């Protein structure tokens, strides 16, 4: 599953523009008074200004051997969100290590080095080391109905978890991170999880899909 574009909403597009372009160093590929689009490796990240914004969680893949370099790079730019005293979170069952930080809207952004992808790099870590959008958080009242909606559209497998609290659907290149917001908050901050609306375009097995999460449902965009 390759995420081509993720459209999120924001409270102030100028603040997100400053954060991602100046603090993080992403390339701007499209811009207006009310929206901005950034290039993240193979993906596009779009923000559209809207008054009723609610925060998100999303993740970005980085080279599998560069979590320490990513941490040093991030520490020059943002405050690291920790679990206890740890700057880097070790997900042994996923064979991955991750770092978290807030953007200008307090979205929880994750840089994750997935060892199984074997995408090593020897280049100096920079914004160019951000390879692709790899996760979008999807907070719902019940996971199984969302899973059923999704597999009616595209046959994605469960990568990890189940229907009670947490379910990662897809693969290491692209995942829907579904949580039951009645029993679980976002890691590592325990921030309240909202059913924040978004749109996503992704490719799976050579076919491209355009979906929208709205009013608690995941549906194709016509």
pLDDT 10s digits, 37-64: 999 999 999 999 999 999 999 999 999 9
CA distance 61 to 46: 17
Q: Give 3-state DSSP helix, strand, coil % of the chain, rounded to 5.
A: 20, 45, 35
pLDDT at 13 over 80: yes
Provide the mean pLDDT of the chain: 97
**What is the reported pLDDT for 222?**
75
Banded pLDDT at 73 (limits 50, 70, 90): very high
pTM over 0.85: yes
Residue-by-residue DSSP string for 117-163: G-----SPPSGGG--EEEEEEEEES-HHHHHHHHHHHS---EEEE-S
């Amino acid at each position: 599953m390759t995420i081509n574009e993720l459209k999120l909403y924001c409270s102030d597009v100028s603040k997100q523009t400053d954060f991602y372009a100046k603090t993080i160093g992403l390339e701007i590929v499209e811009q207006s008074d009310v929206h901005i689009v950034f290039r993240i490796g193979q993906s596009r990240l779009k923000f559209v200004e809207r008054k009723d914004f609610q925060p998100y969680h999303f993740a970005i893949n980085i080279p599998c051997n560069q979590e320490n370099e990513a941490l040093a790079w991030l520490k020059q730019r943002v405050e690291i969100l920790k679990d206890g005293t740890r700057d880097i979170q070790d997900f042994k069952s996923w064979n991955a290590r991750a770092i978290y930080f807030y953007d200008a809207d307090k979205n929880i952004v994750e840089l994750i080095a997935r060892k199984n992808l074997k995408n090593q790099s020897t280049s100096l870590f920079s914004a160019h080391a951000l390879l692709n959008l790899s996760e979008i958080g999807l907070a719902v009242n019940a996971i199984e109905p969302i899973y059923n909606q999704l597999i009616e559209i595209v046959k994605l497998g469960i990568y990890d978890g189940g229907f009670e609290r947490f379910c990662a659907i897809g693969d290491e290149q692209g995942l829907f991170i579904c949580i039951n917001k009645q029993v679980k908050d976002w890691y590592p901050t325990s921030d309240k999880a909202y059913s924040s609306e978004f749109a996503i375009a992704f490719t799976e097995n050579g076919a491209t899909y355009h979906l929208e999460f709205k009013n608690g449902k995941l549906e194709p965009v016509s």
